Amino acid sequence: MKPLLTLLFAVFASCIAWSTANSQTIAPPDRQIDITVDDLPAGAANSMSAAAITEMTAKLLATLRQQQIPVVGFVNEGKLYKWGEVDERIKALNMWLDAGFELGNHTFGHTSLNKAGLKDFEESVVRGETVTRLLLAQHKMKLRYFRHPYLDTGRDVETRRDVEAFLVTRGYRLAPVTLDAWDWAFARVYDDAKKRADTAVQQEIVSAYLSYSAAMFDHEEKLSRDLIGYEPKQIILLHANQLEADHIGELFDLLRKRGYRFITLEDALSDQAYGMPDTYIGEEGTGWLERWAITRGRPPVGAPVFPPAIAQRSKALPPPPGETPAGGPANP
């Protein structure tokens, strides 16, 4: 009997050891990510009232502050100028600074370098600084970061290098993107459903967005490991829209379950990966992991397919007045 008890104890101890080791194996890795938000004061500002922008901003900032998420918001100052609402729109923009966040330049009119040309693009960069620099100065801060609309950085090497030199002379550091789940494309359909008070469609959109985000994270994390041997400090591209105002907390939950800790853009850019060679030029912008892969002659494959049902619903909607999609190709 005693040998049998000894054997059973040994088996039990082995099971406990295996269970402990297995739980350690499946624990999420220690990952780091910076949150950036484009198209301030709002992606759909041209079709929103100043009051609606303020309400949306307050809701978004409340979650960011409550969860202590460091954020840089990138501004299109052209969206501030609507007759009778300029002061209120500027106040909505200033809410980001009052809440302890930072602002960057995203050009005056969400201008694509690839479409506008060098001169017009540089003019849009300078016009996009006026209010932002003033607000930052009032908070004893400096304008440090720039992000290219559509991630368009030039169709030829000469233009790209000229713009890089121009941005340096104006004191900017480029804000890259490594994670992007095209929230702007989901947001259009979400806005339409919200206006119609269609809660079922709203939840369908949120579920599709989070599922697509998870699939994109899987893809980009694997691409990171395959390409550079580790997962760098990631930088995610989000947008100032009602979808994020209502549900960004759920996205943060998803990121935390994957082992992500939230860091500043400055910290993210300290990762050596952002010093890797990048010679990408093309008609359309793309993320930095893809740029590094193309530079190495290894164009990535196997990216998740954007949900066809969402794409169809988005295409069926009338184009917003004066708006263009942000953060990716117009047709996903």
Residue 294 CB: number of other CB atoms within 10 A? 17
Residue 186 belongs to some domain of the structure: yes
Q: What type of residue is 184?
A: W
Q: State what percent of residues in the chain have pLDDT above 70.
A: 88
pLDDT surpasses 50 at 223? yes
Task: Give the list of residues 6+ apart from residue 170 with CB closer than 8 angstroms, or none.
Answer: 125, 126, 129
Q: How confident is the model at residue 26 (pLDDT cuts 50, 70, 90)?
A: low
pLDDT surpasses 60 at 254? yes
Torsion of CA 51, 56, 57, 58, to 10 degrees: 90
Residue 24 belongs to some domain of the structure: no
Task: Give the list of residues 6+ apart from residue 319 with CB closer than 8 angstroms, or none.
Answer: none
Give whole-number Cα distances, 44 to 76, 137, 201, 207, in Å: 11, 27, 20, 22
pLDDT surpasses 60 at 318? yes
CA distance 32 to 285: 24
Per-residue pLDDT averaged across 115-136, rounded? 97
User: Looking at residue 146, which CATH number applies to its domain?
Assistant: 3.20.20.370
- 161 by DSSP, 3-state: which? helix
Cis peptide before 41 (omega within 30 of 0): yes
Q: What angle do CA 247, 250, 256 make, to 5 degrees?
A: 145
Residue 30 pLDDT: 86
Torsion of CA 13, 16, 20, 21, to 10 degrees: 60
DSSP 76: -
The dihedrals phi and psi of 172, each to the nearest 5 degrees, come to -95, 150
Residue 21 pLDDT: 47
Tens of pLDDT, residue by residue over 162-218, are: 999 999 999 999 999 999 999 999 999 999 999 999 999 999 999 999 999 999 999
Q: How confident is the model at residue 322 (pLDDT cuts 50, 70, 90)?
A: low
Domain count, the chain: 1
The dihedrals phi and psi of 258, each to the nearest 5 degrees, come to -90, 5
Residue 24 pLDDT: 47
Domain that holds residue 239: 29-316
pLDDT surpasses 70 at 331? no
Per-residue pLDDT averaged across 286-312, rounded? 96
Strands 260-263, 71-75: pairing is: unpaired
- Look at the pTM and tell me if it is higher than 0.75: yes
Q: Give the number of C-alpha atoms closer than 13 A to the C-alpha of residue 58, restricted to the C-beta side.
A: 8
Residue 66 belongs to some domain of the structure: yes
Q: What type of residue is 267?
A: D
pLDDT surpasses 80 at 23? no
